[in-house]
Amino acid sequence: MQLIDKLSILADAAKYDASCASSAAPKRSSEGKSGIGSSNGMGICHSYTPDGRCVSLLKVLLTNFCLYDCQYCVNRRSSDVPRARFSPEEVVTLTLDFYRRNCVSGLFLSSGIIRSADYTMEQLVRVAKLLREEHEFRGYIHLKTIPEADPALIEEAGRYADRLSVNIELPTQIGLQTLAPEKEMGSIKQAMQTIYTGQQTVLNEPRAARFTPAGQSTQMIVGADATDDSTLLHTAESLYGDFRLKRVYYSAFSPIPNSPKSVPLAAPPLLREHRLYQADFLLRSYGYKANELLSGPGDLALDIDPKLAWALEHRDAFPLDLNRAEPAMIARIPGIGIRTTQRLVELRRQRRIRYEDLTRLRCVLAKAKPFIITSDYHPRQAESTSVLLREQLRDRPQPQQMALWA
């Protein structure tokens, strides 16, 4: 099979993986040195697929042959999709060729399981080793870790890759037993622990070799089973706390050709994935807890964002006087972000905050107005019920052109 034909198959097979961010990589450059490539420490996502997913790197599978039969995966053992396999040397050649053409800034490499977990992991590590040692490639490398692989192989991968990721995919053992019987939650978390231990080992050793300097991440599939948003967010919160993950990604389940009856025939609303990302951002950056966003079982509201939902459920905390309130509470006001909060705190050290200051700072006043007090403004909606405010502030569905064919 020609290399271009393999690339067509294996790049398409990799599109279901959402973990494409490359921020937090160390700054590297080959300028004035031997070798090729650079990494500037910033996110390098620079193009988007038609369905809106970000494509940042040469994103391919080493192979889409797989011993596992995960029901939600298009590359499962029982699937009849076209199959292909790269050699490690072919992936290296493609990466360098695409880099020289300024098409990509690095490599995102995953693989189906062939022969064994250890053999597959060895092949992934060989790609990174060839790039780093033989070609002195200084661009970004993200490797998918095979959870069942020998910890020594995972540690070796961490010495060459900027980021490693272990996909948890389904957050419950019952979900894995039903849809991915070859996988075990214990082995997935053990792989995460191996990476975390490697990071902690070099943390305070300035002369130690770098180990996954861009951290580790994971991905969970949304809508492949009955798992609700509460379970997904509580799992994410646990992973951030236990293994210091950089990111948890959420990927809406995509129906696949000739799918088994054990998975849904239709995809979940893409807005559900969007709300999970919003909630995840609140967990990572705003100090929210998962049980604040969803106190019990269930899904996030689709018609309002999670931050607004929390504010409407806690009307007793609002409206807030921006000239007196704690910064952490100001950041919880809908329509006001962290940077704006910092600027407001700096401003009130000099003088009292006025309503026009919020306009100048480009707050989303349509959402913020019912929840704030300034020196010259008190909300008329302060006495409005949460039900009425929700109706006023909820996202309206965009009108769509009628399709000619269903």
Specify the amino acid at residue 137.
F
- Band the pLDDT of 54: cuts 50, 70, 90: very low
Contact yes or no for 160/142 (Cβ under 8 A): no
Predicted confidence (pLDDT) at residue 42 exceeds the cutoff of 70 = no
Instruction: Report d(CA 141, CA 400) in Å as an integer.
Output: 40
Instruction: Report d(CA 169, CA 178) in Å as an integer.
Output: 13
Percent of the chain with pLDDT over 90: 69
- For CA atoms 233, 68, 214, 205, the dihedral sign is positive
Contact yes or no for 67/83 (Cβ under 8 A): no
Which residue has tokens 């807030």? Answer: 320
Q: Which residues of 383-393 are buried (b: 16+ CB within 10 A; e: fewer)?
A: eeeeeebbeeb
Measured distance between the N- and C-terminal CA atoms of the chain, rounded to whole angstroms: 38
> Which among 180, 118, 125, 176 has a CA at the least distance from the CA of 147?
118
For residue 26, the model assigns a pLDDT of 53
- 231 token code pair: 């379970």
Q: pLDDT tens digits, residue range 168-179?
A: 999 999 999 999
Predicted confidence (pLDDT) at residue 47 exceeds the cutoff of 70 = no
Q: pLDDT tens digits, residue range 334-359?
A: 999 999 999 999 999 999 999 999 99
For residue 102, the model assigns a pLDDT of 81
Reduced to 3 states (helix: H, G, I; strand: E, B; else coil), residue 241 is helix
How many beta carbons lie within 10 A of that of residue 285, not counting itself?
Answer: 11
Q: pLDDT tens digits, residue range 78-121?
A: 988 999 999 999 999 999 998 888 888 889 999 999 999 999 99
Higher pLDDT, 289 or 31: 289
φ/ψ region of 185 (left if φ > 0, alpha if ψ in -120 to 50, else beta) reads alpha
Strands 47-48 and 54-55: antiparallel
Which residue has tokens 């909630």? Answer: 279
DSSP 8-state symbol, 298 = S
Mean pLDDT of the chain: 88
Of 8-17, 202-211, 385-394, the range with the lowest mean pLDDT is: 8-17
Predicted confidence (pLDDT) at residue 52 exceeds the cutoff of 50 = no
Predicted confidence (pLDDT) at residue 16 exceeds the cutoff of 80 = no
H helices, E strands: number in the chain: 15, 12
Percent of the chain with pLDDT over 70: 87
- pTM assigned to the model: 0.87
Contact yes or no for 67/96 (Cβ under 8 A): no
Whether a cis peptide bond, with omega within 30° of 0, leads into 319 is: yes
Q: % helix / strand / coil in the chain, to the nearest 5?
A: 40, 15, 45
For residue 53, the model assigns a pLDDT of 41
> Which among 138, 179, 128, 132 has a CA at the least distance from the CA of 40?
138
- Band the pLDDT of 28: cuts 50, 70, 90: low
Which residue has tokens 């909606």? Answer: 381
Q: pLDDT tens digits, residue range 145-186?
A: 999 999 999 999 999 999 999 999 999 999 999 999 999 999
- Band the pLDDT of 133: cuts 50, 70, 90: very high
- Band the pLDDT of 369: cuts 50, 70, 90: very high
